[in-house]
Amino acid sequence: MNKYKAKYLQIAESLRKEITEGKHPDGFLPSEGTLCEKHNVSRITVRGALKHLEELGQLFPVPGKGWKISDRQQRHAASPKVKNIACLCNPRLPAYGIVFNALSSIAEEAGYSISMLFNTGDSIEQFKEQLKPENFCGIISIGVVGPKTIKGFSNTGLPTVYAVYDYPLAKDSVGTDDFDGGWLAADHLLNNGHRNIMIANKKKIDPAFSSREEGFMRRLREEPSGKISCHCLDSPHESESSRKELIKLLKSENSPSAMFFTTDGFAAALLSILKSEKMQIPKDISLIGYDNFINEDIIPDIPIDSVEQPWEKIAEYSFKRLMDKISFPDESSHLKIQLQPKLIIKGSVKKIK
C-alpha cells in the first residue's frame, strides 16, 4: 500500500483487494472491532474505509449483521480468474519500454502477470486467437491505436485501456494533456525572448500531435508583448521537400530563432540538417522537443529541452483503470484520464533580448 495515502484509504485498498480475491466467501466483512484490531486504528478510521467502499458500490451495511459485499462484487470475486494481462506495444513508440516495465512491477505486486505483444499496424488480426478470456483478463494497449485496432479489441470481449495515446474511438484511455504540453513549450520560448518561432509537426497529424500544436499556437496567440512570427512546417523526416523547405527557411533573412518539434522522434533528421548548415545550438537556434527522448546516440553533446510525459504515472493509472473494469464488468461509464506534462530544461533554449 502507498504509505502516503490517508490511513482510511490504505485500509479501503486492503479490504478491496481481499474482496476481489474472494477472501470473504460468506459475503460479509469482519466486524468493525476486528478490523480495528487488525489494522491498529480507531473505529472512526475503519468506518471511513467502509464508507469509502460503500460509495464505490462494493459494500452496504446490514443492520445487526455488519457490512455485506455487494452481490455483483461477490459474484465476480467468487468466479475463476485468469490473472494475465495482454500488453500490446507499438515498438515505434520510444516510451513503450518504460511504461511496460512500470506496468510489470505494479502488476506483479498485485498478483498479476503481463505478456508483451508487439503490434505496429492498425489491426490485431495476428493476435485474435490469443486474445481470449481463457488466456487474458484484460488488455492494456501502449501506443497502439486506430479504428481497426479498437474494433478488434472490442470484439475480444476483454476490458481494454489505452495508454499514452488517446484516440476519439477509444473509450478508456490514460495519457498526457498534450494541449498543455504544447502550451508549456511555447511559454518556455516566449519567456526567453523568442518571437520568431518555427514548429515542426507530422504531415499526417494524429490527435496527440494535433493537440500539441494547438496548445503551442494558443500560447503564441495569448502573448501580449509584441508581434509573434510563427512558421509551421512538416517535420523534415517526412519528405525531401519538407527538408528543402526547412533549409530554405534557415537560410532566409527571416530565419527563426527557435524551433519546437512535436516529438523527439523528429530529432535525428532535424539535427542532421542543422549540422549540415553549420548551425550551433543554442547559439544560432534554440530547440525544444516533446517526450524527452533524445539520447546520447543521437546527440551526445547538446542536451535538448523537452516536455516530458509522466510515463510511470500513465502505467499506474492504466493498471488501476483496468482493475476497475475487471472488478465491475457491468459498469457502463468510461474515463479519459489526462495527466500533466512537465517541462525539462537542459540548456538548448537561449535567452535573448
Confidence band for 56, pLDDT divided at 50, 70 and 90:
confident
Decide if 84-171 and 178-309 have a common fold: yes
Quick one: pLDDT band at residue 53, thresholds 50, 70, 90? confident
Integer Cα distance of 28 and 295 in angstroms: 54
Length of the chain: 353
pLDDT at residue 327, as a whole number: 78
Distances (CA, A) of 24 to 17, 69, 74: 11, 9, 9
Residue pLDDT, tens place only, 234-255: 877 667 887 888 888 888 888 8
Tell me the backbone φ, ψ of residue 150, rounded to 5 degrees. -60, -40
CA distance 256 to 270: 14
CB 173, CB 166: distance < 8 Å = yes
pLDDT > 70 fraction of the chain, expressed in percent and rounded: 90
Q: Determine the CATH number of domain 178-309.
A: 3.40.50.2300
CA triple 126-128-133, angle to 5 deg: 145
Rounded distance, CA 56 to CA 67, Å? 14
Cis before 224 (ω within 30): no
Calculate the average pLDDT of the chain: 85
The three cell numbers of residue 353 are 533580448
Sign of the C-alpha dihedral computed for residues 321, 206, 98 and 345 taken in this order: negative
Burial, 230: exposed, middle or buried (Cβ in 10 Å; 0-12, 13-18, 19+)? middle
Give mean pLDDT, residues 58-79: 74
Tell me yes or no: is domain 7-78 CATH 1.10.10.10.
Answer: yes
* Digit-coded pLDDT (tens) for 174-195: 999 999 999 999 999 999 999 9
**Sequence-distant (≥ 6) Cβ neighbours of residue 114 within 8 angstroms:** 84, 85, 86, 87, 100, 103, 104, 107, 140
Q: Mean pLDDT over residues 156-169, rounded? A: 86
| Mean pLDDT value across residues 258-270 | 84
Q: Say if CB 158 and CB 180 are below 8 A apart.
A: no
Q: Are 143 and 117 in contact (CB under 8 A)?
A: no
Each domain of the chain, given as residue ranges in start order, spans 7-78, 84-171, 178-309
Q: Which pLDDT band, with edges at 50, 70 and 90, does 207 fall under?
A: confident
Mean pLDDT computed over 252-264: 89
**Which amino acid, one-letter code, is at 95?**
A
For 99-158, the pLDDT digits (tens) are: 999 999 999 888 899 999 998 777 888 898 899 989 999 999 998 778 888 889 989 989
CB-based contacts of 117-123 (< 8 A; 24+ apart in sequence): 117/86, 117/87, 117/88, 117/89, 118/88, 118/89, 118/90, 118/91, 119/88, 119/89, 119/90, 119/144, 119/149, 120/90, 120/91, 120/92, 121/146, 122/146, 122/147, 122/148, 122/149, 123/148, 123/149, 123/152
Tell me how far apart the alpha carbons of residues 11 and 94 are, in angstroms, rounded to a whole number: 37
Residue 300 has pLDDT above 50, yes or no: no
Domain 84-171 has CATH 3.40.50.2300: yes
- Predicted local confidence at residue 2, as pLDDT: 42
Please check whether residue 173 is in contact with residue 336, taking contact to mean a CB–CB distance below 8 angstroms: yes
- C-alpha 157 chain-centroid distance: 23
Picking from 233, 272, 269, the residue whose alpha carbon sits closest to that of residue 249 is 233
Percent of the chain residues topping a pLDDT of 90: 41
Residue 82 cell numbers, joined: 485468469
Pairing state between β 342-344 and 305-308: antiparallel
The answer on pLDDT for 167 being more than 90 is no
